[in-house]
């Protein structure tokens, strides 16, 4: 979640929305990142407010709070409104890939697949075990081009693979 927020600072177009008359792009300063949750009441997407100004520990605490409330059916309206970007962790239930559906007025959503141990070749062409995790993205192409999404995805990947680089920029 923090890696996505840090990448949104570099690609703010992904944290925007169209005006009601669709004549302007409105950039959102707050990173209110929605987390799709499978609950007894069905799929819901509460959001963690102001991720850009939260530490990783604060994000984890807020995620736990939202998950507990979601599981007990006690999320409030404020927890569900105001999202600016969403992610879905299909890996939690064993999924590897997804085609996530954008939640208007947001312009981008990501789906995170499960971590898998797979064989790959190293620099000397030896087969080695590596861990991979897929991320799938969907975006409103009236606003966002595919190259920007790819660059954003590469930055998120860098932050996840090299946490020290992420921590240098995080609160």
The neighbouring-strand residues paired with 135 are 112
What residues contact 166, with CB distance under 8 A and at least 6 apart? 2, 3, 6, 159, 160
Residues annotated as catalytic are: 141, 145
E strands within the chain? Answer: 16-18, 25-27, 33-39, 42-44, 47-48, 85-89, 108-112, 116-121, 127-132, 135-139
Bridging pattern class, strands 16-18 and 127-132 = unpaired
DSSP state of 3: H
CA distances from 14 to 28, 49, 50, 76 (A): 9, 16, 15, 26
Rounded Cα distance, 139 and 106, in Å: 9
Q: Encoding tokens for residue 59?
A: 């994000």
């Amino acid at each position: 979640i923090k890696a996505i927020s840090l990448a949104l600072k570099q690609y703010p177009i992904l944290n925007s929305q169209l005006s009601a008359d669709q004549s302007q792009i409105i950039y959102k300063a707050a990173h209110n990142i929605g987390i799709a949750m499978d609950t007894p009441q069905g799929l819901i997407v509460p959001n963690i407010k102001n991720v850009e100004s939260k530490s990783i520990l604060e994000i984890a605490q807020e995620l736990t709070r939202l998950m507990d409330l979601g599981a007990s059916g006690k999320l409030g309206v404020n927890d569900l409104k105001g999202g600016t970007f969403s992610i879905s962790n299909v890996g939690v239930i064993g999924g590897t890939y997804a085609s996530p559906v954008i939640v208007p007025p947001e312009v981008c959503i990501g789906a995170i697949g499960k971590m898998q141990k797979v064989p790959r070749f190293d620099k000397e062409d030896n087969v080695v075990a590596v861990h991979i995790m897929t991320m799938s993205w969907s975006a409103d192409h009236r606003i966002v081009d595919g190259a920007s999404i790819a660059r954003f995805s590469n930055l998120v990947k860098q932050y996840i693979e090299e946490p020290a680089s992420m921590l240098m920029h995080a609160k």
